[in-house]
Amino acid sequence: MGDWCLSLALNVNVIREDFPLIKDRKIVYLDNAATTQKPIQVINAISNYYMKFNANIHRGLYELSQEASKLYEEAHGVVAKFINAGSWEEVVFTRNATEGINILAQALVNRYLKPGDEVVISIMEHHSNMLPWIRLSETYGVKVKVVGIDSDGLLDYDELSNVLTPRTKVVSITHASNVLGTLNDVRRIAKLGHEVDALVVVDGAQSVPHLPVNVRELDVDFMVFSGHKMLGPTGIGVLWGRKDLLEDLPPVLQGGDMIKYVGIEVKGGVLINHRIIYNDLPWKFEAGTPNIAGGIGLAEAVNYLIRLGMEEVRAHEVELTRYALRRLDETLKDDIKILGPKHPELRSGLISIAFKGINPHVVASLMSTKNIAVRSGYHCAQPLHEYLGVYDGTLRASFYIYNDVDDINAFISSLEEVINVLSK
């Protein structure tokens, strides 16, 4: 392993005490880009809600409902502070980042987009930030432009600048690629987009859990992310948007709690007139009974990350990634190809590996027999893999706050063993 000396920003031994599954299963969990494990604080917060505060929100004048409503509303405030939103009203809870982008795409096409208008994305997008815009091209005649990447896996900013036109109405780019690990310069993207008066949307699913994110400093218009990728429960996500824009956009989901008033006029059994007044933000976009427990659990997850410090979380992952890249280069550089930027400062804490004549699914399956959890396949980014000429998919290891050097050593040792067996 050479003369490597590693100093991690987080005390992993202490952190692991908060994660029952990792302690009980003795698992080397390296699939954090797909979902993260949950600390006992989050598990208890969800359990505590159901045991002590379970009631529907915004419906009842009785004390229990008021308590549940207060907890749910405060959860929006915790998330708003975490990303430095202008107001908690700018934080809309969704099921996940995927639903957030779908809601946004539909709202934008109902208000802003016309046939022939352009939406710009990149080739490195997750399907969630690609398919909703493609659907608009199929059904509304919106034109989708796709920006490429350079040989290092970095966004081609010259191409981005060149494809922007006065018809460009939306630029929707990932902050961090879930395959390449590439960290995009969101401020630069926002500046370019705003120069042609386009709205700038950011997929923060792989960035918000891993590094400090300040939506106002980034100068973007919308951002989405998922709770389950940042220690929170599944089924809860965030659509953040500038208040003036959210106020102007129509709601996509209709039903309870997203309205202040509904009146209809019926004649002869036929609706002939109606009047609807939508609710205030963020409730206008949260139709029906929401995932109350999920919102409370997400707030507790955010508080956990705040206590650790996002600068420390980022520094921890940079050092782990640096170590993993060097170890892989020392031991397996002739057998594998690592996708994405070579420098850990330019990428998030994940590494995707392509093989020569070896199926990544077989590798992942064999590694699972050593209790090492990694992801194989296209990672919901098949166009990117085909763009790179990687048609069998990749093996992905992704790190988080409870991973350490021993995890990486176990991963590389197992990977080396599997490659040796499959290469015979």
Segment 17-35, tens digit of pLDDT: 999 999 999 899 999 999 9
Taking each helix axis from N to C terminus, what angle separates 292-308 and 63-82, rounded to the nearest 10 degrees?
40
Q: Which residues of 273-309 are buried (b: 16+ CB within 10 A; e: fewer)?
A: eeeeebbebbbbbbbeebbbbbbbbbbbbbbbbeebe
Please give the pLDDT value at position 424.
Answer: 73
Q: Which of 46-50, 56-60, 163-167, 174-178 has the lowest mean pLDDT?
A: 56-60
Task: Indicate if 380 belongs to the active site.
Answer: yes
Half-sphere exposure of 414 (CA within 13 A, CB side): 23
What is the band of 4 on the pLDDT scale with cuts at 50, 70, 90? low
Element of type H or E holding 410:
helix 405-422
The pLDDT of residue 2 is above 50: no
Give per-residue pLDDT as tens, 388-398.
999 999 999 99
Burial group, residue 194, by CB count within 10 angstroms (0-12, 13-18, 19+): middle
Domains and CATH numbers, the chain: 12-30+309-422 (3.90.1150.10), 43-306 (3.40.640.10)
Q: Please report the pLDDT score of residue 423 as a whole number.
A: 87
Is residue 364 predicted with pLDDT exceeding 80? yes
Residue 93 has phi, psi (to 5 degrees) of: -85, 135
CA distance 285 to 234: 19
Rounded CA separation 345/319 (Å)? 9
State which H helix or E strand residue 177 sits in: none
Task: Mention every residue, 6+ apart, whose C-beta is less than 8 A from residue 323.
Answer: 4, 6, 405, 408
Give me the amino acid identity at 387: Y
User: How many other C-beta atoms are found inside a 10 Å radius of the C-beta of residue 4?
Assistant: 11
Q: Which of 27, 358, 380, 422 is catalytic?
A: 380
